[in-house]
Amino acid sequence: MKILSVDTKPFDNQKPGTGGLRKQTSVFLAPNFLENFIQSAINARTADGQMLNTWVVGGDGRYPGMQFLPKIIKILVANGVQKVLVVGRDFVAPTPAISHIIRKYKADGGFILSASHNPAGINGDFGVKVEMDNGGQATESFTNALYEQTKVISSYKTLDIGDVDALELPNVEYVNPIKDYADLLESMFDFDAIRKWFADGHTFRFDAMNASTGAAAHEIFVNRLGARPEWILRAAPKDDFGGVHPEPNPTYAHEIYDFMMRGGADFGCACDGDGDRNMILGNGFYVKPSDSLAILAKYHKLVPYFQSGLRGVARSAPTSSAVDAVAKKMGLDVYQTPTGWKFFASLLDAGRINLCGEESFGQGADYIREKDGIFAILFWLNILAKTGKTVEEIVREMWDENGRFFYCQYSYEGVDKSAADDMIRRVSNANLDGRKYGDVTILRKEVFEYTDPVTGEFVTNQGIQILTDNGVRVFCRLSGTGTVGATVRFYVERFESDKSKFDVPVTEYLQDVFQFVDAVFEFSKNFGDIRPSAIN
Ligand code: VG1
Ligand code: CO
């Protein structure tokens, strides 16, 4: 087999964001765009002379992943990779299952072809998550090294064989991710108890949103736990997700949300495009992801995998403090990291934490290095089965014991980028401590920065945090996963101990906080009176 060296020129827009490199599909289809990025990742990975033996390639099934697969195989083999493990013949798998394959087969790393919760198809987005040998996303320092490579790349290696032949190379092995993944999760949770919960007549719905989780959900919930097949909705994967925006929140997964709010089943849930996020719904009841994390921590003892206890927990800084209250009672350390799962990996590797989560509908633990939607759903089913309580009872008890952290995340997607950058810069640099807005005084405003307690890696500009004298915490940052313009995210929380107020609707309860945020950030002054595109 002849190895070819193909000349290329750098692209100036290949810096990975919060979760890998994410672009409009049309951008990825430009000649050499994919090839440059893949070769740059290999260059960064082998810069110290280390050879790559085994490499995993998987994806959430979106277009044009299948077309890209042979091109990636050829580049990997031309660069000396001995074995390419392709996850599934049909090449559709949830991100957590792929993370598990990397770990199980002791691979040197992997590529996950996914833009996660972003819409797919020719008019949607595509992405590549670069995974390390721990099955977790590229660290901040590796990401920077990769980016440097993309700026100077002048050629990439490939093989002079056709795409069809590449798929049949002797170096290529196909692994079935569903069985491995289902076995792993079955070993962690009390499947007997959950089977009984289903057998007792409880009803369930899972929305796979035409994306990557349908097959795994069918294997786990139907085959192994006894749920009815028709309870798995939109299970067949489509390469454009059928036009669905596969983000499991009340805005984009409104079908199952509305169904559950009408009291459609005892338990409802959904995953995002690549299966690492989840939404939890009870009968007529929506669970905020931050509360969900706190509840998993509270009930961890009911789960066989956590029998020996939690060592510590972590949440991203914009996530609500509900988990802190629960963890404090258990005497556990709580780490606050920047947004993005990559910041949890070192804490998980070092054994400082074994449970973590983000407000953006993601929780996970130390058995892999990605968040995992079906993990969180099984955790909830395990809790319901062992306690005999409803979702709503579980959440209300947590509020009664710890108080309620009223919390809201709202995003403005696709706004003008330079105006958004200006806003962040202005508020970052402004001296706001002690400043009054109506009756509210800002106690402290800080630009969130983080030193990884394990690796010593330092990052700054991870968002703006504001604390006020009336117990409000505001966080603001720009998304690192959007592909058009900028996405501004605001996160607000306020603690309430008065039980009589627990039923006030969140947006009503936080109304004056939204006004305060607008005054500080001068949002409507600069962007006009626009509505947030998602409120969670
Ligand atoms: C968003 C979320 C973040 C999450 C990231 C990747 O990032 O806020 O919590 O880790 O998506 O999730 P951003 O930069 O857009 O706020 V996934 O499911 O897209 O891999
Ligand atoms: Co995702």
Q: For 361-419, what is each residue's pLDDT tens digit?
A: 999 999 999 999 999 999 999 999 999 999 999 999 999 999 999 999 999 999 999 99
Query: By the 8 A CB rule, do 97 and 60 touch?
Result: no
Beta-carbon contacts of residue 303 (< 8 Å; ≥ 6 apart):
188, 189, 190, 379, 382
Whether 49 has a pLDDT exceeding 90, the answer reads no
Q: What percent of the chain has pLDDT over 90?
A: 96
Q: What percent of the chain has pLDDT over 70?
A: 100
CA of 480 to the centre of ligand 1 (A): 7
pLDDT band at 482 (very low <50, low <70, confident <90, very high): confident
Residue 479 has a CB neighbour count (10 Å cut-off) of: 19
User: What pLDDT score was predicted for residue 302?
Assistant: 98
What is the tens place of the pLDDT at every residue in 53-103? Answer: 999 999 999 999 999 999 999 999 999 999 999 998 899 999 999 999 999
CA of 50 to the centre of ligand 1 (A): 31
Helix H or strand E encompassing 27: helix 25-28
CA of 334 to the centre of ligand 1 (A): 20
What is the tens place of the pLDDT at every residue in 417-457? Answer: 999 999 999 999 999 999 999 999 999 999 999 999 999 99
Beta bridge partners of 364: 356
CA angle 270, 484, 526 (to 5 degrees): 105
Active site residues: 116
CA of 496 to the centre of ligand 2 (A): 31
Q: What does the buried/exposed string (b/e) look like for 277-306 if buried means 16 or more CB atoms within 10 Å of the residue's CB?
A: bbbbbbbebbbbbbbbbbbbbbbbebbebb
Whether 1 has a pLDDT exceeding 90, the answer reads no
286: phi then psi, degrees, rounded to nearest 5: -105, 130
For all residues of the chain together, what is the average pLDDT? Answer: 97
**Strand 172-175 with 83-87, pairing:** parallel
pTM to 2 decimal places: 0.97
Q: How far apart are CA 136 and CA 131, in angstroms?
A: 5
If you take atom 2 of ligand 1, which residue's CA is the nearest one?
A: 360
CA of 277 to the centre of ligand 2 (A): 5
Atom of ligand 1 nearest to the CA of 481: 15
Whether 311 has a pLDDT exceeding 90, the answer reads yes
If you take atom 18 of ligand 1, which residue's CA is the nearest one?
A: 116
If you take atom 12 of ligand 1, which residue's CA is the nearest one?
A: 19
Question: Distances in Å between the alpha carbon of 209 and those of 15, 170, 213, 249, 430?
Answer: 29, 35, 8, 12, 43
CA of 95 to the centre of ligand 2 (A): 7
Listed residue (56, 423, 92, 110) closest to 239, CA to CA: 92
If you take atom 13 of ligand 1, which residue's CA is the nearest one?
A: 479
Q: Minimum-distance ligand to the CA of 128?
A: 1
Atom of ligand 1 nearest to the CA of 360: 9
**Peptide bond between residue 64 and the one before it cis (omega within 30 degrees of 0):** yes
Regarding the beta carbon of 360 and ligand 1, being less than 6 Å apart is answered: yes
Amino acid at 312: G
Regarding the beta carbon of 340 and ligand 1, being less than 6 Å apart is answered: yes
User: What pLDDT score was predicted for residue 388?
Assistant: 98
Beta bridge partners of 414: none
Q: How many CA atoms lie within 13 A of 153 on its CB side?
A: 32
User: What pLDDT score was predicted for residue 533?
Assistant: 85
Regarding the beta carbon of 406 and ligand 1, being less than 6 Å apart is answered: no
Q: Minimum-distance ligand to the CA of 211?
A: 2
Beta bridge partners of 230: none
Whether 190 has a pLDDT exceeding 90, the answer reads yes
Regarding the beta carbon of 481 and ligand 1, being less than 6 Å apart is answered: yes
Number of residues assigned to the chain: 536
Regarding the beta carbon of 358 and ligand 1, being less than 6 Å apart is answered: yes
What is the tens place of the pLDDT at every residue in 270-298? Answer: 999 999 999 999 999 999 999 999 999 99
CA of 360 to the centre of ligand 1 (A): 7
Place of tokens 């013949």: 89
If you take atom 4 of ligand 1, which residue's CA is the nearest one?
A: 340
Q: Minimum-distance ligand to the CA of 20?
A: 1
CA angle 460, 461, 465 (to 5 degrees): 110
The tokens describing 80, both together, are 């000396």
Place of tokens 């039980």: 499
Regarding the beta carbon of 19 and ligand 1, being less than 6 Å apart is answered: yes
User: What pLDDT score was predicted for residue 48?
Assistant: 85
Atom of ligand 1 nearest to the CA of 20: 20
Query: By the 8 A CB rule, do 2 and 157 touch?
Result: no
Whether 535 has a pLDDT exceeding 90, the answer reads no
User: What pLDDT score was predicted for residue 368?
Assistant: 98
If you take atom 1 of ligand 1, which residue's CA is the nearest one?
A: 481
Name the residue of 114, 274, 360, 417 to mutate for ligand 1: max ligand atoms within 8 A of Cβ.
360
Regarding the beta carbon of 339 and ligand 1, being less than 6 Å apart is answered: yes
Q: How far apart are CA 466 and CA 498, in angstroms?
A: 23
Whether 50 has a pLDDT exceeding 90, the answer reads no
With both helix axes pointing from N to C terminus, report the angle between 289-298 and 373-387 in degrees, rounded to the nearest 10. Answer: 50
Q: Minimum-distance ligand to the CA of 475?
A: 1
